[in-house]
Amino acid sequence: MTLRARIRHESPDCLIRFVAKTGFITKTLWKDFFFKGGTVQWQNISWNNLIKRKYFKRHASSRYQDILILRKDSVLLRDRLLSVPVSVPHTSQVAHDENLLRGLLQLLKGRPNLNWQTQKQSLKNSNRWHIEFLAMD
């Protein structure tokens, strides 16, 4: 049996929802919290499958090639996203955000149903309420 025949295409719904809230995922965070396990070769195949299956694309900056962002134009994602994804953080914020996300993912390990929002989501929601409130006046 070839390696290709053994590849299981697991649905990355949890990862998609996470990246929709955060704007990105680094390979290190993915490996530590979302990868199901296996050899380094299987890890690389699985990471690249996220791109090949058109869920994600690499960050535009060549400096951040180990960062994936959502392909917002993907038909596959439309049914899986519960809300409009946040934008990708500025490159100067990536390292800071990655550290915060690592802490958040550690917390979520024991509480998978914990409801949480990023600052961008919170601001987007508060702006929406503000706009709706103004429209009601």
If you write DSSP's letter for every residue of the chain in order, what string do you get?
Answer: --HHHH------HHHHHHHHHHS-EEHHHHHHHT-----HHHHHHHHHHHHHTTSEEE-SSGGGTTEEEE-TT-HHHHTT-SSPPPPPPPGGGHHHHHHHHHHHHHHHHH-TT-----HHHHHHHHHHHHHHHHHH-
Whether 115 has a pLDDT exceeding 90, the answer reads no
Which position has the higher pLDDT, 22 or 130?
A: 22
Reported pTM: 0.73
Confidence of residue 127 (pLDDT cuts 50, 70, 90): low
Q: How confident is the model at residue 137 (pLDDT cuts 50, 70, 90)?
A: very low
Q: How many domains does the chain have?
A: 1
- pLDDT tens digits for range 10-35: 568 888 888 888 889 999 999 999 88
In angstroms, how far is CA 111 from the centroid of its own chain?
A: 18
Question: Does the pLDDT of residue 7 top 50, yes or no?
Answer: no
Enclosing domain of residue 33: 3-136
pLDDT of residue 60: 85
* pLDDT, tens digit, 9 for 90 and up, residues 54-110: 889 998 888 888 999 988 777 666 666 666 777 788 888 888 899 988 988 888 887
Q: What pLDDT does residue 49 have? A: 93
